[in-house]
Amino acid sequence: MRNLLAVLLVTAALLGAGGAVLYTGAAVGDDDEHEEHEKGRGGRDGAGEARDFMPAMNADYEKECGACHFAHPPGLLPERSWQKLMGGLDNHFGDDAELAPKTQGAITQYLVANAAEHANSRRAAKFLKGIGKDESPLRITETRYFKRKHDEVPERMVVGNPKVKSFANCVTCHRSAEKGVFDDDDVRIPGFEREHF
């Protein structure tokens, strides 16, 4: 935790008094920091920026699922999780999110075809490695890799933050999440500026 505070204070000083605090998500020496962005892993966006995942690239998925929440990259979960999630849309985390059968089938096919097992990404492989073969998590936030990458982020900064509200609200803090980029250096937690630390 001391390393985290040191990183936050140094970053705050670099940003100046009015800037938002940058949260790096890992202590100094974490080997995940930049290895995700090696050439050829996860692809590159139009500006040449390395991606961790292929972003959502299916019109039905973006329209239907993205209307209520961030359309998460399929590489964040294994095939069996997407199948289970899409098979239970009548009770989708307490909401009825049922779709026309044809649309539901097309979205399921897209998610399964691009799930963690098929993603050309080290980060997708790390998500998958932390999921037991008998496990089918429905929440990305419940995977071991997600928890490890966010373990130093206090809940008050996310769940207790009216500007964020949930760890599943990736795009609020990961500014390039829609491009498939989840680099720790690109994280900004709304409402937490220098004077809060």
Residues facing 37 on adjacent strands = none
The pLDDT-based confidence of 140 (bands split at 50, 70, 90) is: very high
The pLDDT-based confidence of 186 (bands split at 50, 70, 90) is: confident
Radius of gyration of the chain from Cα atoms? 17
**What pLDDT does residue 126 have?**
94
Total Cβ atoms within 10 A of residue 101: 8
Q: Which pTM does this prediction carry?
A: 0.72
Mean pLDDT computed over every residue of the chain: 79
The residues spanned by each domain of the chain are: 2-196
**Distance between CA 182 and CA 37 in Å, rounded?**
10
Rounded mean pLDDT of 178-183? 90
**What pLDDT does residue 43 have?**
52
**Distance between CA 83 and CA 111 in Å, rounded?**
8
Contact 152, 25 (CB under 8 A): yes
Q: How do residues 64-102 score in pLDDT, each as one tens digit?
A: 999 999 999 999 999 999 999 999 999 999 999 999 999
**What pLDDT does residue 50 have?**
58
3-state secondary structure of 196: helix
The CA-based dihedral angle spanning residues 140, 145, 147, 150, taken in that order and rounded to the nearest 10 degrees: -100
